[in-house]
Amino acid sequence: MVFLCVRFIIIFFLVCCLCRQSLIQLLFKFSFTLPFLWLITAVVWHVVSIAIRCRRFILIYLIHRRGISLPFISPTHPPSRRIFFFVTLAMAPKRKNTAAAAAAKEETEDCAPAEVTTTTTPPTSPQTESLPSACNAVELYATLQAAVAEDPEKLNDFVRELLQALSDAECPDAPLLVRVRTLEFISKYGQHVRDGNALKKIVTSLVKILSGSEDTPQLLVAAVQGLSSLGPVSVLDKKWEYLSREGADVLMQIMLDEEGFAESVRQAASKALDSLIQTAFRPVVTKLLHWISDNRETEEEEQLKKERRMAMTRLRKLAHTPSLQCQWTEEVQEHVLSLMVRVLPTVTVQEFVQLTSIAASLPIVRAEAGVPFLKAFLAQHAINTDRDLESLSIIGEHIGATAYDIVPVLEDAGLLTTPVEKNTSRGMWHAKVLLLAARIATPDNIDKVYNALLEQLAHVMHDGSALPENMTTFEALLFAVMAAGQKKPVELLKYLNDDAFVSKCMGLAELVGQMEPLLIYAVKKRMQKSLAGQKDAEVLGCCHNVRVILSAFAAKHMPTGTLTESWLHRNKLPSVKHPRDPATTARAAKTTAGITGATTGQLGVLPPPPGTEEHAKKRSRGQGSGNNKNANRNRGGWNGNDRNKRARRGGVY
């Protein structure tokens, strides 16, 4: 190489000396001669040869002095690639460092006071040198792809490059394709990252992109998928569970925001949440319960309702989906159960009922007939408020046939000795709690529960001359006495033979018998107007249960058959067939009136209520009328299917 340089300098110097002219004059004079072409060729050949021999020194100079970052050029590379690298080097821009700017910077540094700042240094990659400031996003992406080509775990050796690529992806000025590819790389290989700072940076960058002004669906979908990819990492350590919790929070907010995100992005968020549930079940359930509770920042009331409704729907789906039953491990169930008990005081009654149903469906709760849920609730709540009393009455609906002693809790709250209120909601909850105590009473405390129930029932029945205002309270006490009587049958039969008690039962049963037809009539009227609902079915069921139990007690025996509590919503009203349209109904009414000879009138009119004079008169007219076909048929008279046949002439029928 030295020989080539020396020879080139000597040739060029001799030519200039011989001609004794400047270089420009020399080029102009010999531009069309053959020796000049030979000279130019020799000069170009010498320049290229020197550049090839000195390429390493040129690269080192450009990297350290001019801030250029290029891959290493190996001698094994083809000549075309070498020429491309040299052209790139020649076209690289220089730094704009003026002397004035440098002087101003030095003055600023000298005048500025010394400050001590504490920063968290990012994880270091194997390279000891810091990355250049003008690092190319394309090259970073290529470097990361090459790192994970053989083993995805090697991504942890390129954490610095990964963080730099994420920073480039946040920049709106970066090429969109590179940004999307970087986020897709995160969604594919983010689960292999094991550095806490890198994981935090990934979540921060993805949330920043989603909450920014970007509206490109491809970029947002890639960011959404990146959040769901961190599920497997979050379950490796409890300190990393926040990754999935925050990811689930962002995904559900995207699903609810119809104005801020396109339909494709919201659908991608829904699928990403399903994927996150599969890989990080416990953190997602924790976030759902957090959304249901009130322990959050104050937001708009309508938005808060939407969030709670979505969280409750998702939680109910997780509890009842067969494919997710394997996710409900014993540890997860205990964790969720403790969270539910902690959240219960902050939710509404409807949400409390739904959460109680979900908790009762857990395998560990269902295996022991609901006792674990009852234990967890009683361990954190003393039954000294109306809210606690109502909560315990709702939980009692999901407790099966088992034995558990809650008498000490009831004694501490004074529920065994305090009289049941006849006309308030608290009295109804009180009676339902006593029913729970009777059903799960143990042989050691059944006597105490039985005696307390008889006293409460005598207090509610009073003298048997009037029904209590709250019939559900009366119904619950009757069911409680029946439940306790099944465990003490001899004592209950003795009590049923008491004449005073039988007299009260007979009087109350007669009052219920008079009220029940009126209730049925009123519910039918509401059904015609499409106003009847579950409450009406509950009222009819309550009246029926009270009448059956009182009639059995009046007959000095236990009720036979199976009775269902009215508040369990198992009683259904029959469906009503509505007319197709008014014109069709009118034509059908006229046709029916013309054929049967009946007076035209409005269809669907109910008869007079039972117990009135109109009802008795209409019934007597119907039984004595000549048009009563049933009576004629029963007497063997004419009917449409059994006519008196007369023989024709000639004996032929």
513-564 pLDDT, tens digit per residue, is: 999 999 999 999 998 888 888 888 999 999 999 999 999 999 999 988 888 8
Q: Quick check: is 29 in a domain?
A: yes
Q: How confident is the model at residue 39 (pLDDT cuts 50, 70, 90)?
A: low
- What would the two tokens of residue 296 be? 């959050």
Q: Is the pLDDT of residue 480 over 80?
A: yes
Q: Dump pLDDT digits (tens) for 422-446.
A: 889 999 999 999 999 999 999 999 9
d(CA 273, CA 561): 49
**0.85 surpassed by pTM:** no
Q: SS3 letters for 420-463? A: CCCCCHHHHHHHHHHHHHHHCCCCCCHHHHHHHHHHHHHHHHCC
Q: Which of 11-15, 44-48, 148-152, 476-480 has the lowest mean pLDDT?
A: 11-15
pLDDT the model gives residue 78? 44
| Within-domain flag for 568 | yes
pLDDT tier at 476, thresholds 50, 70, 90: very high
Confirm whether 60 is domain-assigned.
Answer: yes
* 12: pLDDT strictly greater than 70: no
280 has a pLDDT exceeding 80: yes
Is 14 within the bounds of a domain?
Answer: yes
Q: In the chain, how many domains are there?
A: 2
pLDDT in tens, 412-424: 999 999 999 988 9
- Which of 191, 219, 215 lies closest to 205, judged by CA? 219
Q: Which of 45, 68, 91 is the last residue of a domain?
A: 91
- Checking if the pLDDT of 111 tops 50, the result is no
- pLDDT value of position 161: 87
Average pLDDT in the chain: 76
Among residues 41, 73, 91, which one ends one of the domains?
91
Q: Between 592 and 474, where is the model more confident? A: 474
Q: Do the domain assignments include residue 196?
A: no
Pick the closest to residue 563 from 433, 450, 475, 472 (CA basis): 475
What is the residue range of 25's domain? 2-91
Give the pLDDT of residue 374.
93
Model confidence pLDDT, tens digit, residues 572-585: 887 766 555 555 55
Is 173 within the bounds of a domain? no
DSSP string, 17-60: HHHTS-HHHHHHHSTTSHHHHHHHHHHHHHHHHHHHHTHHHHHH
Whether the per-residue pLDDT at 357 is higher than 60: the answer is yes
pLDDT at residue 298 tops 80: no
Does 153 score more than 90 pLDDT? Answer: no
- 516, part of any domain: yes
In three-state secondary structure terms, 284 is helix
**Which tokens go with 235?**
């379950």
String of DSSP letters for 158-199: GHHHHHHHHHHHH-TTS-HHHHHHHHHHHHHHGGG---HHHH
pLDDT confidence of residue 145: 85
Identify whether 377 is part of a domain: no
Question: Which pLDDT belongs to residue 555?
Answer: 92
> Please, which pLDDT band fits residue 126 given cuts at 50, 70 and 90?
very low
pLDDT, residue 207, reads 92
Q: Which of 542, 561, 576 is the last residue of a domain?
A: 576
Banded model confidence at residue 609, pLDDT cuts 50, 70, 90: low
